[in-house]
């Protein structure tokens, strides 16, 4: 297994619509394992393939860092699609491994149903609520070239980008 470098804001791959996965082989399963390793190493709760520089529709989520055994662990979805989302929305703070140091409140549906494939190529349906639903939506945004910055008000976005530029200049 290998820990990959995480691509940061400014890399065009984060803005690209990632490609559908069509081959479910050992290479894909190895990649998914690497994504989990990379996510655990970075102490994140979710990661999408574009964040390690691969334009593929693959996401992994694991909420165990929240130290709640009830929360889902080791969820990998290939070609994930949100097929239903609740009318109920809520705002919570979000961050992103590709934009370290920035956090902001983001409104999202409380519950979603996600369809896709597991790394073996079997159909999967994931029903998710609250933090799990939020993490899935955040990662699915990534494979569509969307960042949480796009889901905050223009004023907030401007402030966050200003902060990012300042941190970059300071070499953090």
Which residue numbers are catalytic?
139
User: Strand (E) positions, the chain?
Assistant: 46-48, 58-61, 75-85, 89-94, 104-109, 111-117, 123-129
C-beta nearest to Ni ion: residue: 96
Distance in Å, CB of 14 to Ni ion, minimum:
9
Q: Does 6 bind Ni ion (CB under 5 A)?
A: no
Binding segment (CB under 5 A) for Ni ion, from list 3-11, 81-89, 96-104, 158-166: 96-104
Residue from 21, 61, 96, 112 in contact with Ni ion (CB under 5 A): 96
Looking at beta carbons only, is 24 or 145 nearer to Ni ion?
A: 145
Distance in Å, CB of 142 to Ni ion, minimum:
6
- Each as own residue / partner, the long-range contacts of residues 148-156 (CB below 8 Å, 24 or more positions apart, any chain) are 148/94, 148/95, 148/96, 148/99, 148/104, 148/106, 149/9, 149/99, 149/102, 149/104, 151/106, 151/107, 151/108, 152/104, 152/105, 152/106, 156/104
Q: Does 61 bind Ni ion (CB under 5 A)?
A: no
Residues that contact Ni ion, how many (by CB under 5 A): 1
Footprint of Ni ion (CB under 5 A): 96
């Amino acid at each position: 297994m290998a820990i990959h470098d995480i691509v940061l804001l400014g890399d065009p791959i984060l803005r690209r619509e990632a490609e559908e996965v069509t081959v479910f082989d050992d290479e894909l399963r190895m990649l998914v394992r690497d994504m989990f390793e990379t996510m655990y190493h970075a102490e994140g709760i979710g990661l999408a393939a574009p964040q390690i520089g691969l334009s593929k529709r693959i996401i992994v989520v694991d909420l165990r860092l929240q130290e709640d055994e009830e929360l889902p662990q080791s969820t990998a979805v290939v070609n994930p699609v949100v097929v239903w989302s609740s009318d109920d929305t809520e705002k919570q703070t979000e961050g992103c491994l590709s934009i370290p140091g920035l956090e902001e409140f983001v409104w999202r549906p409380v519950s979603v149903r996600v369809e896709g494939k597991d790394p073996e190529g079997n159909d999967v349906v994931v029903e998710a609520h609250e933090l799990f639903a939020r993490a899935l939506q955040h990662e699915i945004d990534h494979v569509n070239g969307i960042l949480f910055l796009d889901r905050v008000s223009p004023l907030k976005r401007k402030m966050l980008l200003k902060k990012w530029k300042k941190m970059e200049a300071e070499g953090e």
